[in-house]
Amino acid sequence: MKTTHVCIAVAALIAVSSAPDRAYAGTAADAGGGPDLIDATIQLALPAAMPVGQAAGLSFGWHSGDRFEYGVRLGAGWASESNLNWAVDHTELRARLGVGFRQRVGRGLVIARLLGGATALFESRARHQAQRLGDSAGELSTSAFAVLPAANAEFGVALPVAEGWGMTLMAGPTAHWMTPDGTRLGFTARLGVQAFLGDSP
């Protein structure tokens, strides 16, 4: 259901960006002329290792180019889950390099990207009521750290709202390669502020 809502939101933004508006003519020209795109977004994703839950965090990116682009993205996410025995805290740091394609549509940009890199994971587990149970419960807490190769694709829009500034909405699938579990597939969505830097040709 959440994936459906994200897809509907992306389609709505594309429709809005396609509508002609003279008030945005200058900004659209800048957006379509190969500006640097710098964004700060809220990120929601399926955790890289936890089988359930959702990791919420922040993501920052820089992408440069005209129709074809390249860029870098850094992000962090946090998730917490618990069961009858354990409370789990999950932290992940994502670093990606990517290439993409952008097309001006109306006053905005429609963007498709392919990114690859790594995700660093730190996970800590604490047994419920550990102090009361004492040594009788065995191991009371554990922690683990891992770095996983990862890749993701994202699709969405960058829509100018004011001169040099706007909003962006991107979403797409994610893959992490884990040993010995194999490939874990997920989904990531981002919404936030977009800066358009640079002159049109």
Contact predicate 58/40, CB 8 Å: yes
Q: Under CATH, which number does the domain 2-20+35-197 receive?
A: 2.40.160.20
- Both tokens assigned to 99: 């290439």
Predicted local distance difference test score (pLDDT) of residue 180: 78
Q: Report how far residue 103's alpha carbon sits from residue 199's, in angstroms, rounded to the nearest whole number.
A: 16
Q: Report how far residue 84's alpha carbon sits from residue 108's, in angstroms, rounded to the nearest whole number.
A: 49
Q: Which residues of the chain have pLDDT under 50?
A: 1-3, 6, 8, 10-32, 200-201
Predicted local distance difference test score (pLDDT) of residue 71: 97
Look up residue 110 and give its amino acid: V
User: Hunting for tokens 């995700």 — which residue is that?
Assistant: 119
Predicted local distance difference test score (pLDDT) of residue 48: 84
| CA atoms lying within 13 Å on the CB side of residue 81 | 15
Q: If we measure between CA atoms, which residue out of 40, 39, 96, 36 comes closest to residue 66?
A: 36
Predicted local distance difference test score (pLDDT) of residue 32: 40
Record the pTM: 0.75
Q: Report how far residue 34's alpha carbon sits from residue 66's, in angstroms, rounded to the nearest whole number.
A: 4
